[in-house]
Structure 1
Amino acid sequence: MLVALAVAALTVAGSVSVVARTTTAQAAADVLAAAAVEDEGADCAVSGLPDLGSLPTNAKLPDPFKKLNGATITAKSDWRCRRAEIKELAEKFVFGEKPAKPATVTGTVSTTNITVNVSHNGRSSSFSARVELPSGTGPFPAVVVVGGFGADTATIRAAGAAVISYDPLAVGREGTPRNNKQGAFYSIYGSSSSTGLLAAWGWGVSRIIDVIEQSGTTILKSDAMGVTGCSRYGKGAFAIGVFDQRIALTMPIESGSAGVPIFRGIPGEGAQSLSSAYGEQPWLGDEFGSFTGSPNRLPVDTHEMVAMVAPRGLFIMDNPHIANLGPRSASVAALGGAEVYKALGAGDNITYWSDVQDGSHCANRPEWRTPLQNNIRKFLLKTGNEPGAIRIHSKALGRLADWRDWQTPALADGPTTPPPTTPPPTTPPPTTPPPTTPPPTTPPPTTPPPTTPPPTTPPPTGGGCTATVSVNQWAGGFVAAVRVTAGTTPINGWTVTMTLPSGAGITNIWSANRSGTTGTVQFTNVAYNGSIGPGQSTEFGYQGTGTGAGTSPTCSAA
């Protein structure tokens, strides 16, 4: 049962927690639009960042309203620069730096593909993404689907939004050591960059948006962008929406440790440990290694990253049936971030939904279909105004009161546009009239852009295909992500053969067909992912019981 409340309070009825509706229709309309720039607070002067050695231990969640100087913000207009402080903390201690737009970003947008070419400080890289348009006449809003699976793409397209299939591993590759990271991001900023993969993946989506903006938005709308992903790609979708304010709707699914769940709650919940998440892949920045055993020393936590999305649309989907995913800690992050949404008058713009019956990892759930459609209409199509809600399953119900010792202030209304950042002069203007000599008419010299195209990474040598597998294991179960890569020639179908460990069994699968559930299993492509271009990849996955480690996949092309 969903109840609309007129007061700022949270109630729980059975397995449902309902967030207060605190905005009028006009106020809600005022906070729907995404920002026009990647980082609205880039001009805020952030000072007083703590040093690693001086961090105190605090078991409670940091106060998102308290500035680095100890003062509490008092107006909604103060949030812009407070968000900039949280961003700096998140980059320094959690994700690593996400650099601003490079010197040169070019590319193309077609009805089927987006290409991105980047040059910065004498280095270049490039990558691409596939586009699937809905029926009708554009330009269309678009949802970036990270890694090939996230929210139901059929529902997204049926609602009237395009789907951009983004391969994050082309920008930040998994399976690499921290001192030798690979991908388009690290080709620009160096293989020893301390920035983790999640921030790098976010940088890649920001460059896609740059190209869409520059294309004239005749096919896709750059001001109506969403992002979604599940599991490891749910972590990525969350980070993408956190760091680029041009994303109007962020939709992470079952993101687990290093995603939405609060870091402080993970050790007590039995979720994938922080040391495991940090060591499995270089998702997080190098500096986070200092906190895997002591998250209470972190001066920032994920409820503040939820808040960084405010007042834009946020729809968090979670699975209460797998403790390894940290759903209780994720609900606390959502509840904590929702306090900022409410303080900004945007309480209707956040939804957290773990009240689902099916426990399969990354399944398309009927409970999410209607809120998914509502969020797309509201934030991307701008044709709806359905209120968000927080619905938490009783199996994974977190209590914000257990985690905070701060209160939510009543923020005063501020100006709708930020004030100028340059202070007016404090000295009188000069009394001497300006010189009357005309300025020079010779234009300044310009340097022509380089004509040499950026280097591209050659595809794997040889024909056929290869397959690699990555396993996320917990007590009694696991999820495996399998990546299929074509060689130097295109393929039009593939078969991956794997022998599961003794006692392991498949309970759920996505983006592939399977010949069985135990022993030696053959996985074959489905209709939409059998054709792979030279050097390109697709991915499928499966959930199982028992132990998933130790498998060695082989791939054959049709």
Structure 2
Amino acid sequence: MNKLILFFFFFTLMSGASAQFQAIENEDDVPEYKLPDPLKAFNGKNIRNTKKWESKRRPELLKFFTQNMYGEIPGTLEISSVELLEKSASALNGAAERKQVDLYFKNSGKTLHFTVLMYLPKTAGKKPIFLGYNFLGNHTITDDVNIVISSAWAPDNPSYGIINNQLTEQSRGVGSDRWPVEKIIDAGFGLATIYYGEVDPDIDDFSNGIHPLLYVDDQQQPADNEWGAITAWAWGLSRTMDYFETDDSIDESKVIVLGHSRLGKTALWAGARDQRFAAVISNNSGCGGAALSKRRFGETIWRINRSFPHWFCKNFKYYSKNEEKLPVDQHELIALIAPRPVYIASAEEDLWADPKGEFLSAMYASPVYKLYGKEGIDLTEMPALNQPIQNTVAYHIRTGKHNITDFDWDQYLKWATKYVK
């Protein structure tokens, strides 16, 4: 009898442990929640003008997100040197200039470098530019044989020839559907991209990437309030902006930072932290990005912290299955970008990223933009599919899945031409 009881005990235990996470995918199942007012300080005082926003509310929100979600960078680290790897004035069949530079960083006897690939229009003067990370190496964004293949760690993917965590020639151009380089150049913009794994490999291991360069004494991993991978990737975008300020071919006042999925979260955080970015684009960024956490729709804080424990700082785990205790939400992350233009995009079939929660974030961030006299989102209902709202705060939901598509890029180029270029 005891053995039978013991069997059922372990069966129940293992069944619970192996049970799949049941995501909310029906609006009727969304719990009741109350969103914090971005224009009400933590002490309850109303914020009525941009001066108070900038002196009181913005700093306290930025501090909370830093200390309790994305993590503090424990020091400063500037570019130690820049190496021009390659340059051509006849890229894309003569339509563009191509440039590849390595940015080097040194500290505590350690060195890190990452490669910035740039395509620039062959026009006079400084160029506006889109800046974003790619997932599998710079060489994957086009079939251009001149793009250097990274030696950094990459997740195995035998179908792309990625074995033993090494990128190879076989994966050249496999991500070109997400990067319409010719279209971007034709619109008068440049494109700069970086393999995010060169800044910090996307794995739960803080012994690699940029983190060890800022460890002190015998530190092995970040402190509870210190940076996870998303802040590390945001750090890399800011250091690239440092480089842009020295490059006479790039208009550093017109740099648009963008990202898809986890890199969309990164773009939002980079734009919130670094006000030098002229505009921000979040494509399907979901939980920890544009989607409201308190809705618990699709991916939740608990799920994302469990699946990707290295993305956020350890303090964020306090809010796993505890969203009601959050004194902020993601609409206030978007508000931190004000008054600079921001574009939030969703996909109809991407329920994991909570399209409605992304829309609501953009809508509830709009009052901060209105303080600056900027046009936000006045609609209280989501727009129809493939019908973009293109204001300073922009939004669209398109047909299709979790991806970045030609439709998305068509909207971003049109919007950026109006609000940045």
Structure ranking higher in strand proportion:
1
1:322 correspondence with 2:350: yes
CA–CA distance in 2 between the matches of 1:122 and 1:63? Answer: 46
Tell me the residue number matched to 1:62: 36
CA–CA distance in 2 between the matches of 1:229 and 1:156? Answer: 15
The 8 Å contact of residues 292 and 329 in structure 2, kept in 1 or not, is answered as yes
SS at match of 1:378: helix
Alignment of 1:429-508 (within 5 A): none
1:174 correspondence with 2:161: no
CA–CA distance in 1 between the matches of 2:418 and 2:214? Answer: 37
Tell me the residue number matched to 1:299: 327
| Among candidates 76, 94, 107, match of residue 82 of structure 2 | 107
1:123 deviates by 5.3
Alignment of 1:112-511 (within 5 A): 112-120=99-107, 124-147=111-134, 152-177=180-205, 180-189=206-215, 191-193=220-222, 194-213=226-245, 215=246, 217-265=247-295, 267=296, 269=297, 271-281=298-308, 282-347=310-375, 348-354=391-397, 356-357=398-399, 359-366=400-407, 368-381=408-421
Code of the residue aligned with 2:221 in structure 1: it is S
The 8 Å contact of residues 156 and 376 in structure 1, kept in 2 or not, is answered as no
The 8 Å contact of residues 105 and 207 in structure 1, kept in 2 or not, is answered as no
Query: What residue ranges of structure 2 are gaps of 5+ in the alignment?
Result: 1-31, 88-97, 136-174, 376-390
Q: How many residues align?
A: 314
Percent identity of paired positions between Structure 1 and Structure 2: 24
Q: Residues 289-319 of structure 1, C-alpha deviation per residue, up to 9 Å, x if partnerless?
A: 1111101111221100000111101111111
Code of the residue aligned with 1:127 in structure 2: it is F
CA–CA distance in 1 between the matches of 2:207 and 2:286? Answer: 23
SS at match of 2:104: strand
CA–CA distance in 2 between the matches of 1:239 and 1:59? Answer: 24
1:89 correspondence with 2:64: yes
CA–CA distance in 2 between the matches of 1:243 and 1:60? Answer: 26
Aligned-residue RMSD, C-alpha = 2.4
SS at match of 1:176: coil
The 8 Å contact of residues 256 and 326 in structure 1, kept in 2 or not, is answered as yes
Code of the residue aligned with 1:84 in structure 2: it is P
Change (3 A) 1:207 1:103: closer
Change (3 A) 1:233 1:112: same
1:124 deviates by 4.3
1:101 deviates by 4.5
SS at match of 1:329: helix
The 8 Å contact of residues 115 and 129 in structure 1, kept in 2 or not, is answered as yes
The 8 Å contact of residues 146 and 227 in structure 1, kept in 2 or not, is answered as no
Change (3 A) 1:243 1:313: same
Instruction: Decide which structure has the larger Cα Rg and report it.
Output: 1
SS at match of 1:145: strand
CA–CA distance in 2 between the matches of 1:162 and 1:204? Answer: 19
TM-score by length of 1: 0.53
Q: Residues 190-219 of structure 1, C-alpha deviation per residue, up to 9 Å, x if partnerless?
A: 651131111110101101111221x2x312
SS at match of 2:121: coil
CA–CA distance in 2 between the matches of 1:121 and 1:75? Answer: 45
